[in-house]
Amino acid sequence: LCVFDYQAQYDVALAYRNAEKPFVIRNDPSVMEVVRRWDDDPEYLHKKLGDENRIYTERSPKNHFMYYNVRKRKQVRNWRQPENDVVSMSYGEWLERALLREAYALDDPEIKARSDELREKRMTLPNRDEEDIPDDDEIQVDNDRESEKRMKWYYFRLNAFLEEAKGDTVDKFVFDEVAFFDPRNTTASHFYFVEPEDQRGINCRFGMRGIVAENHYDLSRNMIAILGGERRYIIAHPAQCSKMGLYPAQHPSGRHSSFDWSN
């Protein structure tokens, strides 16, 4: 893919955007400001999101996460739900588990000690009962033992919607933080929106080492900002969709490939 500098090659990058061609853009001051804020203080997000507010978090016994819509389960005979499901989790607990996964991979005792510190803090917090779980049919009660949790993968998701971005909400926090994806901030967001009125919110996602989101296509334009860590994308031309083994539209995992691309 072509890689453009926001400050030196803005017009060329804009031409690619208007032509709806994939590209990478770097050195946007608005984006770099967020990167510095999150990177300079490793505890910044933890302080803001805390240990009490429980958020929609995907859970899996392996590192693969397959999208599915359980409301479509009756449309496919003998459908079996993928192994990943949804629980609610605080940012602090997700961070604890992400650091533990990192410590295992790198054999790093300092990262392991930080994860253990977060776990010890979590154990001193009041127990949360089922009434604290967000009102969502998809979210399961997390009854895993601590030993089981340590072996699973978690995908923490802050899904923010513009109409909810007010007061002391997570939605407002996300839109305030990543203002370059806020259509109301026309100066910062102009490059990233072709049709601002059709924006569908911000999906702010925190993964952990090794997570794979199964191959799929989306139904709208995407702009993706990597604000920390690394992420690998495999991109195919739309003309290749017929060769990707996609589930049909009525399937619970419609738009997603039926086979494991990492195998």
Q: Summarize pLDDT for 194-224 with one digit per residue, the tens.
A: 999 999 999 999 999 999 999 999 888 899 9
| Strand, helix or coil for residue 103 | helix
Measure Cα distances from 233 to 53, 62, 254, 256 in Å: 31, 19, 20, 15
Where on the phi/psi map is residue 157: left (φ > 0), alpha (ψ -120 to 50), or beta? beta
Across 129-133, 145-149, 204-208, 234-238, least confident range: 129-133
Name the pTM for this structure: 0.91
Answer yes or no: is pLDDT of 23 > 60.
yes
SS3 per residue for 119-178: HHHHHCCCCCCHHHCCCCCCECCCCCCHHHHCCCEEEEEEEECHHHCCCCCHHHHHHHHC
Calpha distance 31→188 (Å, rounded) = 9
